[in-house]
Structure 1
Amino acid sequence: MEKSMACLVGAIVILWCCISHVTSDASDHRYMKGDSVPFYANKVGPFHNPSETYRYFDLPFCSPANVEEKREDLGEVLNGDRLVAAPYKLDFQIDIEPESYCKKRLTIKEVAQFRHAVLKDYFYQMYYDDLPIWGFLGKFDSEDKDDQSGAIVHLFKHVHFEILYNKDRIIDVFIRNDPQAVVDLTENKEVEVDFTYSAKWVETDTPFEKRLEKYSQTSSLSHNLEIHWFSVINSCVTVLLLTGFLAIILMRVLKNDFVKFTPDEEAIDDQEESGWKYIHGDVFRYPRFKSLFAAALGTGTQLFTLTIFIFMLALVGVFYPYNRGALFTALVIIYALTSGIAGYYAASFYYMIEGKNWVKILVLTGSLFSGPLFFTFCFLNTVALAYNATAALPLGTIVVIFLIWTLVTSPLLVLGGIAGKNSQSGFQAPCRTNKYPREIPQVPWYRTTLAQMAMAGFLPFSAIYIELYYIFASVWGHQIYTIYSILFIVFIILLIVTAFVTVALTYFQLATEDHEWWWRSFLCGGSTGLFIYGYCLYYYYARSDMSGFMQTTFFFGYMACICYGFFLMLGTVGFRAALIFVRHIYLSIKCE
């Protein structure tokens, strides 16, 4: 355990060293008049398909002979950023009248490329002094949105930049397109285009420290805040009612049970044991597939620790708007450093329930989550390569991730496993286990595993589903999520509801003399992940405009991995809560 805590402390130290605020080449963001300001073009793609993005010069813009690429860190590459020097030159406080930077004759093929991009609502993203800016390639007019064959397509050929500055620092930048300065691309014919741009500098009183606030204003609008807080209050009321109801019911039922199970000695022979005390000799019988069960608990504990660290970083402001790649960098580093926790808890629990093969448990623990994630990545990366999209990771990045897994994740997993194996902590069972298991009586359909999973997953999901929309709109859209305090409250509510529902269902299961509660409590706790994946189907087809094979596979592929992670994490929470409850009730009675 001490080694696990040391690993956590090391994770914090390395995170603060590695997740630095991404800045431009001019690290202090201060300029003199006429100074060159870093300006990068990032990517282009359909507005409604956030995963389907391409390099800026994949479209037939005027590109220099040698494209200057910006060196990016791991998180930026994982985020799909591919920054190159922009084709514009905007020096500090230098106004620019409409000026031509490229004259080009578009071939029929290039006209078709631009026309396709305009019809698909392609947008482009750039960074000027590390400030994100967006613009659309053009516009089209069509009477039928579904049938664009007769649409009139125009490409914007002039870009106007309006830049706000405060003394020697840049505060904001906007792109404006002249709706009159367009080129008609409706017909398949060569077109001569004179691409021009202009710039105007405007002084403002906004301080530099507040220049990123506008990107989070959408989340902070009063209307959105009211909805957010309404969802939190609704969830809190649900939790209070649920926990109060369960507490009252369980206390009264258990009190009656305790009275019944501790009769006078004269009446012992006249009463027959029934209910959950009747199976005291089987309730602590170790589960089947104990190695898989221990690996699931170890992986779930690691993912829970990963989530807590991500919340800690979010609450202290590390993931401020457009801190490119910070979240992905944090996920990779924390996951690697917390692998020791997975190894420790998996191995210690495995040996606690009399497991023997510690190598097997470590292999299972190391591959239980990362294995499906790896195969999903291989498939989706192949799809991205086929599309030539920026979501395809270059070979160098894949090698870096492999080295992290080889040199950090695997050694820490083994060290944690050795520490867990040598912890020598026995399983504290209040009752002795019989040599032969009792036969489990038949139960009605609503008490079967699948029915209880449905009941166990619905209540926690109902407490978080409103917040899910904002999360999805941020991850799979263009909204920015910044109110992490509300999200953390919702997460705590999710944990509480999951624990209480699992405890209640475990009691009802034991009351029917079904002693195989180990896997059942894990499955019931993790069933919320299945409901979240069901919400993915609803969101994709009813709440979003995403389309296309690549976007569909990326959405459902990576969301399957995320929901699987939630399943493991919440399953661990549910089992731990059920284990505490079961130990408590059997400690409170006299088991012979």
Structure 2
Amino acid sequence: MASSGTAHTFNNPAIFAEVLLKGLLGGLGVQSPDEELPWSRRIHCGFVLVYSLVSYFYSCSAFYLPGLAPVSFCAKDKGGEDCQTVIQLFVNRLDSVESVLPYEYDMFDFCKDEMETRPSENLGQVLFGERIESSPYKVNFLEEVKCKSLCTKSYKKGNKEDATKLDFLKMGMQLNYQHHWIIDNMPVTWCYDVEDDQKYCNPGFPVGCLVNQDGKPKDACVINAEFHKKNTFYVFNHVDIKISYHSGEAEGWRGARLVAATLEPKSINQADEKNPNCDGAIPMEVPGVFDSDVSIVYTYSVTFEENNAIKWASRWDYILVSMPHTNIQWFSIMNSLVIVLFLSGMVAMIMLRTLHKDIARYNQVDQVKALLHKASNDQGKILGALRGRTGGVRMEAGARGCFPAPRKGMLLSVFLGQGTQIFIMTFITLFLACLGFLSPANRGALMTCSVVLWVLLGTPAGYVSARLYKTFGGEKWKTNVLLTALLCPGIVFADFFLMNLILWVEGSSAAIPFGTLVAILALWFGISVPLTFLGAYFGFKKAAIEQPVRTNQIPRQIPEQSFFTKPVPGMSHQMYYMFGFLFLVFIILLITCSEATVLLCYFHLCAEDYHWWWRSFLTSGFTAVYLFIYSVHYFFSKLQIVGAASTFLYFGYTLIMVLIFFLFTGTIGFFACFWFVNKIYSVVKVKMGLYIL
């Protein structure tokens, strides 16, 4: 129980602020400027501080970080401004694992909404090719629907327009194109049982399926024994929608909140379109050869289920947990951590043992200096003796020969500037994603955040590129700034524009509209390029980075390298979808690239090879080559992509990712090695009089 004095303190903000300040000072052992607090009063103030903080945090209310507030739904007769009655069902683009070409819902001959509306989409949604629109499926909260007819699509034999529409629908079934529906900003999932009595929830469901000419069912046709006729397509023309909700009666808020939306697609041949029967067992068949009229009746049913066990904030869990690739691979993470610990141990051994001995030997130069005065004519013997006494990093390689300007310094500085921009963008994006701001519920936020951050981070790119280019002794600053602002983004945009042309020709929904392309160019040239020039201005105004030792004007000859300094390739892979673990893997990648580059750099310095500038960048940047090799392997072993356009698009987008990853990892390795080399030679007391070579 708090005392009356304590209660009075809480009621007076001024006194409470004073006590809080004094409690902080007392807890830290710092005296107040106007008086000395006795220990008893310090303890009392500390108690007040702890009590107030606990009370404050206990009374705090949580909020949903992505900024998407929950929507309450009520029955039709109980609706209001704070409680909706109509549940809108939106449809998104259709895509396929056998094709990289997504298509809008309207491209297929499905039932259309007469009052079609399209919600506004952000930049990320447009770049990802999302095309969300309203659907003809009408749903009211707690109003169940039983086998309601939506529309009928008829295809007449001999009609070219009907034949074209039906052929496109058959193509969608043959390539296993998937619907993607949205209710309350949540995907409508198709859940079904798989092996080991587990349930798999797919955030999409197929248009239909095919039984080929050999009588072998493909894709979803394997789930029903009635799908057995050769060279026949089966259309899923009926859906049973089940919506689960969390009631607010016991929670203190009005109405209910939707926590799950699932469906089950069915293929039903309706004998009477005016009186549909959704319990029929005869599937809706579309013959492979269009030799007779075809009529498809689309129907749907809706049921509701109260489920108070699922909270609104965790309604995505059942989707993420059921997907096989979202299971956290703890073994892979632990394996990566073991590798990091192994590399850290090697780096620590070098820093604490080998380099410590090297530095101790270098600092013995003062003892040898007296020998120079006695035997100035015998410098060769002395230098030979010094070479014999020094191990690890050689003196010649470690001092004047270790910091020559790299070849193609302009290109290296440009790559490092762009890599810095990508690294900061990636770090901030993943950090915000870990906090929940970029959750899947906030559609397109991840891509939008990445693009905006890349545009705004032109300043550090220009600064790093200019500062390093000046350190390398470069003088063509205008060329450096232009290349930093235009080279790598230009390559990415050219590749992206070429891919977009293919999407335009194919009529895909992933094709970026012309207005969006203009907006991207405006962001690039209107914001990113000027910011790059601004950063380069400050970079060139700064003095060049001072090296710990002076550099010989005449490059030394590099001895023949041992076999262990040659690169040895190795690769592994793992996919992560949850941002928290993705951020952990990002940190592991950062440490691994840094330590592996430092180790290889040290081994080359021991072998008197001073060409570490480009090697440090390429050592970790070569990870992008492994990424490309794995992408090729994944294409041929896992994917079922057919068609030249889809193949070209796959490798076109892969090259963009490989370039970005090359700059990203290369920059990590370079700055780790740059810090390492400067650190070890800044503590070595090199006497320049010894290097009369």
- Residues 248 and 185 from structure 1, CA distance in 2 versus in 1: closer, same or farther, beyond 3 angstroms? same
Count the aligned residue pairs.
Answer: 543
Q: Provide the C-alpha distance between the structure 2 equivalents of 1:520 and 1:557, rounded to a whole number of angstroms.
A: 27
- Residues 591 and 502 from structure 1, CA distance in 2 versus in 1: closer, same or farther, beyond 3 angstroms? farther
> What residue in structure 2 maps to residue 103 of structure 1?
152
> What residue in structure 2 maps to residue 435 of structure 1?
553
- Residues 31 and 402 from structure 1, CA distance in 2 versus in 1: closer, same or farther, beyond 3 angstroms? farther
Shift of 1:377: 0.3
Describe the SS at the equivalent of 2:180.
strand
Q: Does 1:541 align with 2:636?
A: yes
Describe the SS at the equivalent of 2:153.
strand
1:119 pairs, out of 155, 158, 174, with 174
Q: Provide the C-alpha distance between the structure 2 equivalents of 1:39 and 1:21, rounded to a whole number of angstroms.
A: 21
| 1:37 aligned partner, one-letter code | I
Q: Provide the C-alpha distance between the structure 2 equivalents of 1:403 and 1:36, rounded to a whole number of angstroms.
A: 40
- Residues 254 and 45 from structure 1, CA distance in 2 versus in 1: closer, same or farther, beyond 3 angstroms? closer
- Structure 1 range deviating more: 431-440 or 78-87: 431-440
| 2:395 aligned partner, one-letter code | K
Alignment of 1:391-540 (within 5 A): 391-422=510-541, 424-443=542-561, 447=565, 451-452=566-567, 454=568, 458=570, 461-462=571-572, 465=573, 467=574, 470-471=575-576, 481-482=577-578, 484-540=579-635
Q: Provide the C-alpha distance between the structure 1 equivalents of 2:303 and 2:489, rounded to a whole number of angstroms.
A: 50
Q: Does 1:202 align with 2:282?
A: no
Unaligned runs of 5+ in 2: 1-64, 78-84, 156-161, 189-203, 220-227, 248-254, 270-282, 373-378, 388-392, 689-693
1:42 pairs, out of 92, 113, 120, with 92
Q: Provide the C-alpha distance between the structure 1 equivalents of 2:241 and 2:168, rounded to a whole number of angstroms.
A: 25
Q: Provide the C-alpha distance between the structure 2 equivalents of 1:421 and 1:173, rounded to a whole number of angstroms.
A: 58
- Residues 103 and 329 from structure 1, CA distance in 2 versus in 1: closer, same or farther, beyond 3 angstroms? same
| 2:634 aligned partner, one-letter code | Y
Whether the 8 Å CA contact 1:111–1:191 is kept in 2: the answer is no
Whether the 8 Å CA contact 1:41–1:127 is kept in 2: the answer is yes
> What residue in structure 1 maps to residue 336 of structure 2?
235
Q: Provide the C-alpha distance between the structure 1 equivalents of 2:138 and 2:314, rounded to a whole number of angstroms.
A: 25
Shift of 1:77: 1.0
| 2:679 aligned partner, one-letter code | H
Alignment of 1:347-386 (within 5 A): 347-386=466-505
| 1:435 aligned partner, one-letter code | Q
Shift of 1:362: 1.4
Q: Provide the C-alpha distance between the structure 2 equivalents of 1:446 and 1:326, rounded to a whole number of angstroms.
A: 46
Shift of 1:259: 5.2
Unaligned runs of 5+ in 1: 1-18, 472-480
Q: Provide the C-alpha distance between the structure 1 equivalents of 2:208 and 2:218, rounded to a whole number of angstroms.
A: 18
Q: Provide the C-alpha distance between the structure 2 equivalents of 1:401 and 1:109, rounded to a whole number of angstroms.
A: 36
1:59 pairs, out of 79, 100, 108, with 108
1:248 pairs, out of 344, 349, 354, with 349
| 2:337 aligned partner, one-letter code | C
Describe the SS at the equivalent of 1:562.
helix
Q: Provide the C-alpha distance between the structure 1 equivalents of 2:651 and 2:179, rounded to a whole number of angstroms.
A: 25
Whether the 8 Å CA contact 1:353–1:427 is kept in 2: the answer is no
- Residues 215 and 323 from structure 1, CA distance in 2 versus in 1: closer, same or farther, beyond 3 angstroms? farther
Identity %: 29
> What residue in structure 1 maps to residue 266 of structure 2?
178
- Structure 1 range deviating more: 59-68 or 396-405: 59-68
CA root-mean-square deviation: 2.8
| 1:357 aligned partner, one-letter code | K
Whether the 8 Å CA contact 1:162–1:202 is kept in 2: the answer is yes
Q: Provide the C-alpha distance between the structure 2 equivalents of 1:207 and 1:497, rounded to a whole number of angstroms.
A: 39
| 1:172 aligned partner, one-letter code | A
The C-alpha deviation readout for 1:145-172, integer Å capped at 9, x for no partner, is 6999943211122222222223433222
Q: Provide the C-alpha distance between the structure 2 equivalents of 1:170 and 1:537, rounded to a whole number of angstroms.
A: 42
- Residues 197 and 406 from structure 1, CA distance in 2 versus in 1: closer, same or farther, beyond 3 angstroms? same
2:209 pairs, out of 116, 127, 139, with 139
> What residue in structure 2 maps to residue 224 of structure 1?
327
- Structure 1 range deviating more: 159-168 or 254-263: 254-263
Q: Does 1:213 align with 2:268?
A: no
> What residue in structure 1 maps to residue 73 of structure 2?
30
- Structure 1 range deviating more: 524-533 or 256-265: 256-265
| 2:548 aligned partner, one-letter code | P
If you compute each CA radius of gyration, which structure gives the higher value, 1 or 2? 2
- Residues 21 and 220 from structure 1, CA distance in 2 versus in 1: closer, same or farther, beyond 3 angstroms? farther
- Residues 267 and 549 from structure 1, CA distance in 2 versus in 1: closer, same or farther, beyond 3 angstroms? farther
- Structure 1 range deviating more: 284-293 or 267-276: 267-276
Whether the 8 Å CA contact 1:215–1:321 is kept in 2: the answer is no
Deviating beyond 6 angstroms after TM superposition, the runs of 4 or more aligned structure 1 residues are 145-149
TM-score by length of 2: 0.73
- Structure 1 range deviating more: 409-418 or 485-494: 485-494
Alignment of 1:324-363 (within 5 A): 324-363=443-482
Describe the SS at the equivalent of 1:37.
strand
Shift of 1:253: 3.8
Shift of 1:214: 1.9
Shift of 1:446: 5.9
> What residue in structure 2 maps to residue 128 of structure 1?
183
Q: Which has the higher contact order (CA 8 A, sep 6+)?
A: 1
- Residues 308 and 136 from structure 1, CA distance in 2 versus in 1: closer, same or farther, beyond 3 angstroms? same
Shift of 1:316: 0.2
